[in-house]
């Protein structure tokens, strides 16, 4: 992924301005690192079916990472989760104040769509990727999930409602990464749908794992504040630590079965990623539970 990291850094918005902190605020959270999970998924699809399109697909992969990072910047704000650590670094609002953090998130959000529009791909492909990212990251996806999460803090939800919350807040953007990759390489509607549904379930697993890690890791291990979900509708709060682990085990088993039903090129391209992430909850410090 070194080629992607180089492209991502080059794709960051930079403007001529006398503002002393603006450009640093736009780039700080991107350059702080991260799993790059969503770009890896998208590029994995491209590597499986159309590796010659990898360079062109970098625009979409970078757009996903910028959009995801905007969501983290806003999620950390005092009006939301009020976190002081992200990716092992101080959060933007603690460095530059709430206003510039909000504006930096806004800038990354909109720059993501600028990158999609600039991608050296067919116009219909670019338009469809814009639609997918907006639909899954916007009013009926990630933003809705965040709104539910904040509104029902301190108000316990049922499991089905927690699943719906995190399907929107986390899972849909992960599913979007797979579907955008499928659009780039021209997979048919059935294959796109199968990848999207796989991505939703993968995103739910990712969230359950994050809830488990929040309960068992130190802030230094996680690179962000931990053990602060007690008032939120997390899977650990609802099911308990071992119950959440059992739930994650069930999701991981289902995903493994679905993954093995994919064709050989896709399995080969994504296997390392799946092996790394499908069972990360089983290496999360059981002694701390």
What does the pLDDT look like over 162-186, one tens digit per residue?
999 999 999 999 999 999 999 999 9
Q: What is the pLDDT of residue 289?
A: 26
- pLDDT at position 51 is 98
- DSSP labels for 204-258? HHHHHHHHHHHHHS-HHHHTS--S--TTS--HHHHH-HHHHHHHHHHHHHHHHHH
Q: Assign 166 to helix, strand or coil.
A: helix
Residue 200 host element (H or E): helix 189-216
Share of the chain above pLDDT 70, in %: 95
The pLDDT tens digits of the residues spanning 235-260 come to 999 999 999 999 999 999 999 999 99
- Structure letter (DSSP) for residue 86: E
- pTM score, whole prediction: 0.94
The Cα 23–Cα 136 span in angstroms is 28
Strand extents, DSSP E, the chain: 85-86, 89-90
What is the pLDDT, as a whole number, of residue 91?
97
Cα 80 to Cα 128: distance, rounded to the nearest angstrom: 31
Alpha carbons 101 and 24: distance in angstroms, whole number? 11
- Cβ atoms of 236 and 212 within 8 Å: the answer is yes
For residue 86, the cross-strand partners are: 89
287 pLDDT tier (thresholds 50, 70, 90)? very low
In the block, which residue shows the tokens 């990727």? 129
Interior/surface letters 181-205, b for 16+ CB within 10 angstroms, e for the rest: bbbbbebeeebbebbbebbbbbbbb
* In the chain, domain spans: 2-288
Is CATH 1.10.645.10 correct for 2-288? Answer: no
Sequence-separated (6 or more) residues with CB below 8 Å from residue 282? 245, 249
65 Cβ contact list (under 8 Å, min separation 6): 8, 30, 34, 36, 38, 39
Tokens 């409602």 identify what position? 161
Q: What is the pLDDT of residue 217?
A: 83
pLDDT number for residue 281: 87
pLDDT at 81: 92
């Amino acid at each position: 992924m070194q080629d992607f990291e180089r492209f991502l850094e080059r794709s960051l918005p930079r403007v001529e301005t006398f503002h002393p902190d603006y450009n640093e605020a736009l780039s700080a959270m991107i350059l702080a690192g991260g799993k790059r999970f969503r770009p890896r998924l998208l590029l994995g699809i491209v590597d499986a079916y159309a590796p010659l399109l990898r360079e062109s697909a970098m625009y979409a992969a970078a757009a996903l990472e910028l959009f995801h990072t905007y969501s983290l910047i806003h999620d950390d704000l005092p009006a939301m989760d009020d976190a002081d650590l992200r990716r092992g670094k101080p959060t933007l609002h603690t460095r530059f104040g709430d206003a510039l953090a909000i504006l930096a998130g806004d800038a990354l959000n909109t720059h993501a769509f600028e990158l999609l529009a600039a991608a050296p791909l067919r116009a219909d492909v670019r338009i469809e990727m814009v639609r997918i990212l907006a639909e899954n990251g916007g009013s009926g996806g990630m933003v809705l999930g965040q709104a539910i999460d904040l509104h029902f803090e301190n108000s316990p939800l049922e499991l089905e409602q927690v699943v719906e919350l995190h399907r929107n807040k986390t899972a849909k953007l992960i599913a979007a990464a797979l579907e955008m990759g499928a659009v780039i390489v021209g997979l048919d509607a059935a294959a796109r749908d199968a990848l999207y549904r796989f991505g939703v379930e993968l995103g739910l697993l990712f969230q359950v794992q994050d809830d488990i890690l929040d309960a068992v890791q130190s802030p230094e291990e996680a690179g962000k504040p931990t053990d602060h979900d007690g008032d939120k509708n997390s899977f650990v709060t609802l099911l308990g630590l071992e119950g959440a682990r059992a739930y994650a085990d069930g999701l991981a088993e289902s995903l493994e079965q679905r993954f093995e039903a994919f064709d050989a090129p896709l399995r080969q391209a994504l296997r390392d990623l799946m092996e790394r992430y499908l069972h990360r909850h089983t290496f999360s410090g059981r002694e701390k539970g």
